Amino acid sequence: MKRIGFIGLGLMGRPMALNLLKAGYELTVYDRNEEKVASLVEAGAAGAETPQAVARASEVIITMLPNSPHVREVVFGENGLYPELRSGQYFLDMSSISPITAKEIAEKLREKGVAALDAPVSGGVEKAQAGTLACMVGGTEEAFAAVKDVLGAMAASAVLVGPPGAGQTCKLVNQMIVGVNIAAVAEALTLGKKAGVDPENIFQAIRGGLAGSQCLEDKAPRMFSGNFAPGFRINLHAKDLANVLETSHELNVAVPLTAQVMEMMQVLISDGHGTSDHGGLALFYEKLNSLSLQQES
C-alpha cells in the first residue's frame, strides 16, 4: 500500500506526515488550516479540500486530532470520511481519544469492510520529528500486519496490545504514568533545593539509579532552564487525564494520584500555562512553595 491519507497537521501530525513523505508514500493531506496543507503540498503531498477527498484518494487513512469529538466529526460529520469509505481500506487513528469512542468507530467501520485501528503515540514533538515515536495499537492481527510498515515510517516501535480500543487504553495508562512521574520529579527536586542542595547535582546523582526514568531525563533539564516550549502541552495532557478519569469512573477504579495531577494541571491552565510543556508541572510547585527550580545563568 502506497497511497496514504493524513488528516490533522498540528504539532505532532505535521512531522509525522513529513516522515511518510520521506519514506516514499504518496500522501494526500487535509487540515482545516489551509496554510498547514499548503506547507505539506510544498513538501510533496497532495492537498485535499475535505476528508471525503482524502478517503477517495487513499488506501490507508490516518487521523491525528485533538480528542474524541474531532475524530467523530472527521469520520461521520459533514463532508466526513464515512460515505466515501470502501471495503479493503484501513483507518488508522493515531489521536489520543476515549477507548469507548475507538471501539464504536471500529464497529461502525467494520460494517463497510474497513479495518479500523486505534494507534495513539508517545514521545512528543521531538520524537515525532525524528520518526522514533512509540505506538500502541488496538485492532486485529491482520490489520496490524497490513499497516506495520506505514507505522514504521513514523515510529521506532509499534506494539499490538489488543483488540480495538486497547491502544487507547494503553495510551491512558501511559499518560497516567508520565503525569505522575513528572509531578514526582518536580516535587522531589523542589524539596532538594529547599534543603539547600543543587537540583542539578541531585539529577546527576540519581539518574543512573532506580529513580532514573525517561521523564527525569527529558523534563528535569527543562525545569532547570525554565524552557517549557511545548513538546507535549499541558492542556492536551489534561485532556488525556480527563479521558482517564471518565474511564476509571465507568470501571469503578480508584486513581487518586492521577486525579491529583489533573488538579495541578487545572491550576496551571487557569494561570495561563495550558500551552506550556507538561514539564511545566514544576511551575505548580514554584507557585506553591515560592521557589523556582530554574538555575541562575
User: Which member of 36, 103, 127, 171 is catalytic?
Assistant: 171
**Residues with Cβ < 8 Å from 40, sequence gap 6 or more?**
6, 9, 14, 17, 18, 21, 27, 29, 47
The DSSP symbol for 58 reads -
Nearest to 121 by CA among 265, 19, 263, 259: 19
Q: Which grid coordinates are listed for 240? A: 488525556
Sign for the CA dihedral angle at 47, 230, 274, 175 comes to positive
Nearest to 134 by CA among 146, 123, 119: 123
128's enclosing H/E stretch is: helix 124-130
Answer yes or no: 193 catalytic: no
Cα 276 from Cα 286, distance rounded (Å): 15
Q: Which residues are catalytic?
A: 171
